[in-house]
Amino acid sequence: MKTLFKKFLTIIILSSIPSLLFSQMWDYEQKDIEKIVWNDDSYVDLEILKPEWKEKSAVILDYELIHELKETSPTGIGHSKLKHYKVVLLDQVAVDNFSEFYFSKERTGIYKMYYKNFVGFRIIKPNGKIEIIDTEKEMIVEKDNYEVKQKIAIPNLQIGDVLDYYLFNYAYDYQNQIKQWEKSHGDYLFIFDRFLVPDKYPISKIKYEIITDKHWKLSIKPINDCPFREFKEGEGEYHFISESENVEALGDLEWDFYYKTRPWLKVYADWEPRHISKQEKEGAKTFSRREIDEKVLKDYMKKYYDADVSSLFGSFQKYLKKNNLTNLSKERKVEEYFYFLRHHFVNMHLMYDKYNNAKEREISHFSFCQHFIFALKKMDIKYDYLLTTPRILGDISDILSMGEVVPILKINFKTPSFIYFDGKFSRYDILPKAIEGVNCIRVKKSPDKRDFILSDYKIPTSNPEKNAFKANIDVKFSDNILTMNGKLSVKGQALPSYQNYFVSVFDFVIEENIKYNTKRWGDPSELKNGKMKDKILQMDQDQKDEFKEDFKEYLTVRLGVKELELNEVKKIELGMTAKDESFSAEYNCTTEELINKVGNNYIIKIGELTGDHFQVKEDELKREYDVYIPYPKMQSYEITLAIPENFELKGIENLTTSIENEYGSYKSTATIQDGRLVLKTNYKINVNFVELENWPKVAEILNTAFELQKKEVLLKKL
């Protein structure tokens, strides 16, 4: 993970200042913000810091944040946000890390009536001299259809400097947006902040402020020993403040879901002027510690459990009849209906959207479930609703709003299956990796059908074999060049990333249109010669060229080389259905970078062909938190290397290794067969979660794979 300050920061959080000045932050211009945040030019005496912090790369001297959320008119709300840092740089690493900043923000959309951003940087030198950074001069801006990217270089930073900077953002949300949210969720809830305590550097002082008006009721929940344990009233009746000091750095770890393990603050605000009584409105000036209780869950399920839509099930029955599929088992019909809905919801429109350069349309999972529930009732198939939240955002027990809930349909076959829809590559009975193994609330109808029964449920974790990556590589050596003929296939949880990277709408949409007898919009075979046909044919060719370039980039990373020649590549499978469960491709490439010539002999970096593995260094074995692995997985390679005439192969004994424990395994074997080296490897991780005390067992597997990746063999001239 990159350092906290060098990664992309969305300009939506904010920082703090004297609160009397914040009656209406949306009126402020940049000069007004700077008068507030830069009201102290003094250089901080490092002697006040904890002695051990002086050995750190940097220390955050002050970290102030403020949110202001107010109803600005009868037509909408204004949300102002400010974040203010003072950081002392104690070594060259910190100077390098803070010399560039990257920002990303969404461009103004239809529901944003007004929007403004300010950023400012200044350097306080040890002698007290102030240098203001000209952000307009130093900023590089890139724009696309949906996002603005900004980069700012901070010149002349030196060890001992204090970097003092702020980010301010204001957005006016039009009431149409509020009404849409209310329609979906029953109220208007602002996810104010999921404030994660910074992980890289210690913090001397930290302060968090929230200002609202009478139209809002706050819900604040400190999680995992967050330093903001208590909020006190500020200078106004709708003003709340929390402060803390001497917050230690938490470290930067691989495979750590920070909202599961780290201290953080969850802040929400309900906009309730039209829904609460006068008595409640008068009490809204105090924040509540909202909990989602059984009544809230049941009220929520009254809206969704039996909600159904029938418009597509009749068409599905006609599809079954036309294709002689009416005698399929219930399990197979449910699977067929999933892909039928996926096509009609999204995929049938993809060619049109692509042609018009439109953003891929988004269909809610709720709507998908409504269609599915109708079909399940018609086919007399029992189901449960599962309510959870992605594990990267914490646990279901920490939710403050039903807007955080992810609903999943559990189909109660003998072997249960699960329904979750998230776009054109959605798969039947395959849940996103973010939901595997999470705790859920299971909702069932009571026997009399008048109420709901709630119980705990844990979504199963997939097995490694279901998430398999396989590669076969045939290698030939000639004239200081390695030529590789390879085939790879991937399925399960790794599949979506390959599909998003390599699969084009031109690969499958027309075929799906034919299968489901929907309009073949943009099918070149049905178009007359003209501009539209020419454009579509050119788009198809551009996609093919892009695929080749993307696959070349993929191979260079996978093989750890800078340059290779990709002579040929073709897609074999796309992984779009249960019968077509894998993405697979064949390729031919050449490279010189995996060979070193030593006299008349050649060293072959054969281990680099076995995958890009992760090394756990000595200091990374010391963790404070449990390990959250993305998903169980299996990777297997079979590599053959033809031994040229007048050469012998040395070092194959170093290619055999084996380790296995309850968390996984890594095994490799190397033999000579018919003048060829045959290297086989199998890497397996059985779990997606490892307790802290068992982390060394997993690390041993990872390091064994990494060590094999660095192995070489010698082609010795006879």
DSSP 458-475: EPPPPPGGGGEEEEEEEE
pLDDT at 2: 30
Coil, strand or helix at 21: helix
Neighbours of 563 (CB within 10 A): 9
Please, what is the end-to-end C-alpha distance for the chain in angstroms? 48
577-598 pLDDT, tens digit each: 878 899 999 999 999 999 999 9
- Whole-Å CA distances, 611 to 548, 628, 710: 20, 21, 10
Contact 82, 176 (CB under 8 A): no
Tokens describing residue 1: 């993970």
DSSP readout, 115-155?
EEEEEEEEEE-TTS-EEE--HHHHEEEEE-SSEEEEEEE-T
DSSP symbol at 359: P
- pLDDT tens by residue, 596-622: 999 999 999 999 999 989 899 888 888
In this structure, are residues 606 and 234 in contact, taking their beta carbons and an 8 Å threshold?
no
Element (H, E) at 511: helix 509-516
**Helix (H/G/I), strand (E/B), else coil: 295:** helix
Q: Which of 52-61, 294-303, 391-400 has the highest mean pLDDT?
A: 52-61
Hey, which of 72-81, 225-234, 609-618 has the most confident mean pLDDT?
609-618
pLDDT of residue 619: 82
**Residue partners of 147: CB distance under 8 A and separation at least 6:** 104, 105, 106, 107
Joined tokens for residue 604:
């072959």
Residue position matching structure tokens 């102002």 = 80
pTM: 0.79
Residue 393 phi/psi, 5° resolution? -100, 5
Question: 336: helix, coil or strand?
Answer: helix
Cα–Cα separations (whole angstroms), residue 711 to 277, 284, 615, 653, 714: 72, 66, 14, 11, 10
Residue of 19, 77, 81 whose CA lies nearest to 236: 19
Instruction: For residues 2-29, give the mean pLDDT.
Output: 40
pLDDT at position 301: 79
Name the one residue in this structure whose structure tokens are 């210690």: 202
Tokens of residue 485, six digits: 């003929």
The whole-number pLDDT of residue 231 equals 82
Residues facing residue 83 across a β-bridge: 65, 167
Poorest-confidence range of 73-82, 323-332, 658-667? 73-82
Alpha helices in 272-387 (DSSP H): 278-282, 294-304, 313-322, 330-345, 350-355, 365-378
Residue 580's CB: how many other CB atoms inside 10 A?
Answer: 13
Whole-number pLDDT of residue 703: 96
pLDDT at site 284? 39
- pLDDT at res. 422: 86
Q: Look at residue 271 in the predicted model and tell me its pLDDT.
A: 65
Q: Is the pLDDT of residue 693 over 90?
A: yes
Mean pLDDT of 16-22: 37
Least confident piece of the model among 109-118, 669-678, 696-705: 109-118
Q: What is the mean pLDDT of the chain?
A: 83
380 — phi, psi (to 5°)?
A: 55, 50
Beta bridge partners of 142: 149
- Sorting pLDDT into bands at 50, 70 and 90, what band is 623? confident
- Residue 109: pLDDT band with limits 50, 70, 90: very low
**285: number of Cβ within 10 Å:** 18
Residue 1 confidence (pLDDT) above 50? no
Query: CB-side exposure of 201: number of CA atoms within 13 Å?
Result: 30
Q: Which amino acid is at 185?
A: H
Helix, coil or strand: residue 688: coil
Q: What is the mean pLDDT of residues 663-687?
A: 96
Q: At what angle do helices 365-378 and 313-322 cross, to 10 degrees?
A: 60
Cα dist from 459 to 297, 385, 438, 638, 690, whole Å? 19, 12, 6, 34, 17
Long-range Cβ contacts of 136-144 (<8 Å, 24+ apart): 143/107
| Dist CA 402 CA 293 (whole Å) | 11
pLDDT exceeds 80 at position 191:
no
Cα separation, 636 vs 615, whole angstroms: 18
DSSP β-bridge partners for residue 166: 84, 120
The pLDDT, as a whole number, for residue 24 is 65
- Residue 73 has what pLDDT? 65
Per residue in 300-350, pLDDT (tens digit) is: 777 777 777 777 899 999 999 999 999 999 999 999 999 999 999 999 999
pLDDT value, residue 74: 62
With beta carbons less than 8 A apart as the criterion, state whether 123 and 130 touch.
yes
Domains for the chain: give ranges and CATH numbers: 21-289 (2.60.40.3140), 304-460 (no CATH), 465-717 (2.60.120.1130)
Residues contacting 73, CB < 8 A, separation 6+: none
Question: pLDDT for 244-289, tens place per residue?
Answer: 888 888 776 677 787 888 888 888 777 654 443 333 434 333 334 3
Strand partners, 596: 603
3-state secondary structure of 456: strand
Residues 6+ apart with CB under 8 A from 51: none
Average pLDDT of the residues in 378-397: 88
pLDDT digits (tens, 9 = 90+) for 536-575: 999 999 999 999 999 999 999 999 899 999 999 999 999 9
Residue 307 CB: number of other CB atoms within 10 A? Answer: 14
- Token pair 């269909």 in the structure block, residue: 363
Instruction: Determine the average pLDDT of the residues in 450-459.
Output: 90
Residue 161: count other Cβ atoms within 10 Å of its Cβ.
22
Question: What is residue 399's predicted lDDT score, i.e. its pLDDT?
Answer: 74
What proportion of the chain, given as a percentage, has pLDDT over 70? 85
